[in-house]
Structure 1
Amino acid sequence: MTRKVEVVPYNLGWPKIFQAEAAALWEVFESEAEEIHHIGSTAVPGITAKPIIDIMPAVRDLAEVDKMEKEMKMLGYQIYGEYGIEERRFFTKDISGVRTFHVHAFLKDSLHYHPHLAVRDYLIAHEEARRTYGSLKRSLAWEYPNNVNAYAEGKHAFVKELEDRAVHWYRKQRK
């Protein structure tokens, strides 16, 4: 099944949607999660985004997360394992046939954990980067309305450069 690429203006309801889903995830992850973050574009006020809430639990042990398959399925999630990124467990949830949530569980000391927070925080703090990224996403969604892979590939170089700037900025902020 081909998923349509849709980017929409920022929705003021996204933080509340995140909070409700994070509360359900806390019940599943219980003592295994140290933190649960709203990441991705839906966590950045004012940016254009695909209307999919990205959630990132910071966990103590991925082997314990692997044991939560039944509970995640009960919440409506599909389980994908690492799904191309080491030290991650990836889950998706569709509601009424529409992709609604992505969960990226990482070890807190994983190489991939802090860059997600860095990009989110950098975009919140830097309006020009937010505008440029939003414009790129709108353009790619228009160009590839039925090709999620081409949309993602079109963003790849920009996102990599953005991540590099964001991580450098984030490290300076945390000193």
Structure 2
Amino acid sequence: MALTSTITRYNENWPALFLAEQARIAEGFQAELLAIHHVGSTAVPGLAAKPEIDVLVVVSEHRDEPAKKTFMTTLGYVRGSNLSEGHHFYRRDVDEVRTHKVHVCINGHPQIARMLRFRELLRSDSVIRQQYQELKLQLEASNREGIGEYLAGKAPFIDEVVG
């Protein structure tokens, strides 16, 4: 079973794609918006990644969820399941290929610090970055069950380095 997209070499356009999406998303979260961050592998220069822009939206609270869902739908997103209490998820696919993932977390949610810390570790430590890239490529090559298997394979490495 295929992943949501294929891992590719780092693309210098990924930061610009994030900035464009950041501006679009900010409109719908104005009242409670605290910050929008580029996270995930596409936020790490030089790191091979699935070309899916990961966006972390930090909000003061989850307010008027039906309106948020409607707004995100107008941007081409589908509301996924909550990943945990206070951690909402949206995905955007174009021609059946995942292009964007949006994590909307209430300020103080542990995933915020975790995502930002992992991004900074990958940006600053070339050894960890290379190990992570090799792991991702191995997991992609051996994947039989899809994205769940891939994410489960990455989790122990991330847990170890983030601490």
Moved more, 23-32 or 33-42: 23-32
Q: Which 4+ residue blocks in structure 1 deviate beyond 4 angstroms?
A: 1-5
Q: Secondary structure at the match of 2:105?
A: strand
Residue 18 of structure 1 aligns with an amino acid whose one-letter code is: F
Cα separation, partners in 2 of 1:98 and 1:79, compared to 1, 3 Å: same
TM-score with structure 2 setting the length: 0.92
- Tell me, in whole angstroms, the C-alpha distance in 1 between the residues paired with 2:28 and 2:150: 32
Cα separation, partners in 2 of 1:2 and 1:144, compared to 1, 3 Å: closer
Cα separation, partners in 2 of 1:150 and 1:64, compared to 1, 3 Å: same
Q: CA RMSD in A?
A: 1.7
State the match for 1:163 in structure 2: 162
Q: CA deviation digits over 1:9-51, x for unaligned, max 9? A: 1110000000001110011112221110000010000111111
User: Mind listing any 5+ residue stretches in structure 2 that lack a counterpart?
Assistant: none
State the match for 1:18 in structure 2: 18
User: Mind listing any 5+ residue stretches in structure 1 that lack a counterpart?
Assistant: 165-175
- Tell me, in whole angstroms, the C-alpha distance in 1 between the residues paired with 2:94 and 2:67: 24
State the match for 1:90 in structure 2: 89
Whichever structure has more helix as a proportion of its residues is 1
Shift of 1:147: 2.0
Answer whether contact 1:6 1:145 (CA < 8 A) is retained. Answer: no
Answer whether contact 1:90 1:103 (CA < 8 A) is retained. Answer: yes
Q: Secondary structure at the match of 1:62?
A: coil
TM-score with structure 1 setting the length: 0.86
Residue 147 of structure 1 aligns with an amino acid whose one-letter code is: G
State the match for 2:103 in structure 1: 104
